[in-house]
Amino acid sequence: MNEQTNHSEDLDQDLVRRVQQGDKSAFDLLVIKYQHRIVHLVNRYVKDAHEAQDVAQDTFIKAYRALADFRGESAFYTWLYRIAINTAKNYLLSRTRRHSEFELEIQDAEQVENALQLKDMDTPEDQLMNEQIVEVIKLAIEKLPEEMRIAITLREFEGMSYEEIAEAMDCPIGTVRSRIFRAREAIDEKLQPLLN
């Protein structure tokens, strides 16, 4: 187990213990930490972005309710990951059932099929927005100074730890930390106006 995993798991264990001892605000911190990963995970099953967020919210609520039984035998995220997948699958099952019932009511099968397809897609506005975001981020990456681009690429594409990047780039770990942060700042500068 590497150092970065240790940091994360220590923090999670601490937060879980606090929740189990009555500190609900500690759970908010777990939500802030994992919200993006969980929504992204659920989004692999539930294609609609808004529904995916609802399912992700359900995941966190279920996790909170089950937290009394969490004994820390696996990492918190692994445990949360399993809850997310089960919640997403159950959601899809119940949606299929709902559609089957609906199908009985209307005879036009083609109409139902179209409705299902539409359900799986974002609105045209959402799609356009998402495409723009991806474009802006890619463009911003291309314009980064080479050292920053390499550092953030190794981190995000290759999933390397800071220590491994420092070794690969033959520089101190503090420099890696700074390069990755500066890269994010530069990309964020381009992204922020779009989101506002």
Partner 1 sequence: MQEQVNEKISLLIDDELQSDKALSLLRALGQDEALKQRLQRYQLISQVLKNDNCYVLDSNFADKIHQQISYEPTFMLPGKKSSMMSFNWQKAGLALAASITLAVVWVAYRVDSQKTPYAIQPAIATNMQQPNNVVPLNPHFNDYLQAHDNAVYSSDLYRVQPYARVVGYQQQ
Residues that bind partner 1 (CB under 8 A): 4-5, 7-8, 10-11, 14-15, 17, 19-22, 24-25, 27-29, 31-33, 35-36, 39-40, 43, 49, 52-53, 56-57, 60-61, 64-65, 67-68, 122, 129-130, 133-134, 137-138, 141, 152-153, 155-157, 161-162, 177-178, 180-181, 184-185, 187-188, 191-192, 195
Q: In whole angstroms, how close is the CB of 99 to partner 1 at the nearest point?
A: 23
The amino acid at residue 15 is L
Please report, for residues 9, 68, 109, 172, the alpha-carbon distance to residue 165 in angstroms, rounded to integers and kept in the order given.
21, 39, 55, 9
Please return the burial class of 1, using the count of CB atoms within 10 Å of its CB with bins 0-12, 13-18 and 19+.
exposed
Q: In whole angstroms, how close is the CB of 121 to partner 1 at the nearest point?
A: 12
Measure the CA–CA gap between 26 and 24, rounded to whole angstroms.
5
Which residue, 1 or 109, is less far from partner 1 as judged by CB? 1
